[in-house]
Amino acid sequence: MAYRKPPHPERIYVKVSSDFDRTGYMQPTAITWEDGRVFKIDEVRDFRPASSVAPGFPGDCYTVVIRGELRHLFFERTSDRFASRFGRWFVECMSP
């Protein structure tokens, strides 16, 4: 019998459209996949700090509703060394 690795989450980096309110709160509004498909975020249900797996890269987790389904959208903050790169967005998908 062959050994099979259990599925594990894989990061998929995506383009995200966001709005910022006057207090500076970042509200994601849509996700665009690499192939051009756009998914509107119907609602943000929760927001919480969630550290990235990579050390030194703090981040946030947004629980969002897309087409009636709850999904987690992560914002990974980049290093302070790059002033023009604030961070990047990713979703986790299970890979075989």
53 domain-assigned: yes
87 domain-assigned: yes
For residue 33, give its domain range. Answer: 8-95
Task: Provide the domain count of the chain.
Answer: 1
- Residue-level pLDDT at 77: 82
74 domain-assigned: yes
Tokens 């709850």 sit on residue = 70
Quick: pLDDT tens for 55-71: 556 789 999 999 999 99
pLDDT surpasses 90 at 10: no
Average pLDDT (30-57) is 85
Average pLDDT (42-57) is 77
- Residue-level pLDDT at 72: 92
Q: Dump the DSSP string for 49-66.
A: E---SSTT--EEEEEEEE
